[in-house]
Amino acid sequence: MQLLLALLSLTALITSSYCVRIPLFATLRHLQHEIDNLKAEVVVLRQTQDQCHPTEAPPTDVGKNKDAAVTVNFASCRLTKSENGEVVGRVDLREQSDTNVLQLRLQVDGAKLTLAANSKHGFHVHTYGNISGSCSTTGGHYNPDGVDHASPTSAQRHVGDLGNVQADASGNIDVSFNDTYASLTGTKAIMGRAFVLHGGEDDIGLGGNAGSLASGNAGPRLACCVIGWATGTDWVY
Ligand SMILES: [Cu+2]
Ligand SMILES: [Zn+2]
């Protein structure tokens, strides 16, 4: 409206006499001033619109990476005879990051340990990965929770409680099994600790005495090994 009035004034001035030159210039300056004001308002309006409707693209990676890369870890060790360090077997392990299942395979040459046919033997993870002084230097069952000895399927157990393994009719051991409590990584990690194969059967904490609640009365430590990382190239389950 102001612009219209100004234009009307300008027209009137142009059609009037030469002596109104000064008011004409004043009106032109006023017009220029109005135009500058309008330009400033347009700038402010554009800025406001940008704030209400940002021009940046919204994040496009929302919801992606739900299936993070699955990693698979392997471990292995060679079981050595407690009395002389002779290799008598091996333990192989595999664990996949998207499960809580630790896969184990234990193979023992029964003749080297004179295992009886179909005999049962306690098999545990002991605390220390030190077999420099035979298997006697591996400490007790790995037990970070400070609870009693039990079976692998008990709600509460030593992390190291893997129960019993059984020899076949020839006295050899070749068993594959899973455990869902012990792990290669995290707070229940057995890495760097020791497997111990015992001469007797583990009573899984049901023997009714202190030895049962501590270690299952599984008898002498026949063979052991220190758990270390492996490539998995010779993994067989
Ligand atoms: Cu043991
Ligand atoms: Zn135990």
For 168-221, what is the HEC assignment?
Answer: CCCCCEEEEEEECCCECCHHHECCCCEEEEECCCCCCCCCCCHHHHHHCCCCCE
Q: Which residues contact 106 (CB under 8 A, 6 or more apart)?
A: 89, 90, 91, 123, 165, 173, 174, 175, 195, 197
Measure 117 CA to ligand 1 centroid, in angstroms: 21
The token duo for 145 is 């929770």
Which residues, chain by chain, have CB under 5 Å from ion ligand 2? 141, 149, 158, 161
Q: CA angle at residue 109 from 143 to 174, to 5 degrees?
A: 65
Residue 28 has pLDDT above 70, yes or no: no
The model's pLDDT over 180-210, given as tens digits with 9 standing for 90+, comes to 999 999 999 999 999 999 999 999 999 999 9
Q: How far, in Å, CA of 132 to CA of 150, rounded?
A: 28
Residue 126 has pLDDT above 80, yes or no: yes
Instruction: Label residue 36 by pLDDT band (50, 70, 90).
Output: low
CATH 2.170.120.20 is right for the domain spanning 72-230: no
pLDDT value of position 79 = 98
pLDDT value of position 75 = 98
Q: Name the 3-class secondary structure at 95.
A: strand
Instruction: Label residue 91 by pLDDT band (50, 70, 90).
Output: very high
- C-beta neighbour count of 188 within 10 angstroms: 18
Query: What is the helix (H) or strand (E) element at residue 48, kind and residue range?
Result: helix 21-52
The model's pLDDT over 129-160, given as tens digits with 9 standing for 90+, comes to 999 989 999 999 999 999 999 999 999 999 99
Residue 166 has pLDDT above 50, yes or no: yes
Mean pLDDT computed over 110-129: 98
CA dihedral 223, 228, 234, 235 (to 10 degrees): 80
Q: How far, in Å, CA of 92 to CA of 89, rounded?
A: 10
pLDDT value of position 68 = 72
Measure 157 CA to ligand 2 centroid, in angstroms: 7
The token duo for 151 is 């079976």
pLDDT value of position 236 = 86
Looking at all shown ligands, the one closest to residue 152's CA atom is 2
Mean pLDDT computed over 80-98: 97
**141 DSSP 8-state letter:** B
Instruction: Label residue 237 by pLDDT band (50, 70, 90).
Output: confident
Length of the chain: 237
Q: Name the 3-class secondary structure at 54.
A: coil
Residues with catalytic function: 124, 126, 141, 149, 158, 161, 198, 221
Q: Name the 3-class secondary structure at 27.
A: helix
- Count of helix runs (H) and strand runs (E) in the chain: 4, 10
Looking at all shown ligands, the one closest to residue 201's CA atom is 1
Residue 105 has pLDDT above 70, yes or no: yes
CB 215 within 8 A of CB 135: no
State how far Cα 132 lies from the chain centre: 33
Percentage of residues in the chain having pLDDT higher than 90: 69
Percentage of residues in the chain having pLDDT higher than 70: 72
Looking at all shown ligands, the one closest to residue 196's CA atom is 1
Measure 48 CA to ligand 2 centroid, in angstroms: 70
19-33, 59-73, 116-130: which is most confident = 116-130
pLDDT value of position 20 = 47
- Which alpha helices (DSSP H) does 60-114 contain, by range? 110-113
Instruction: Label residue 34 by pLDDT band (50, 70, 90).
Output: low
- pTM of the full predicted structure? 0.72
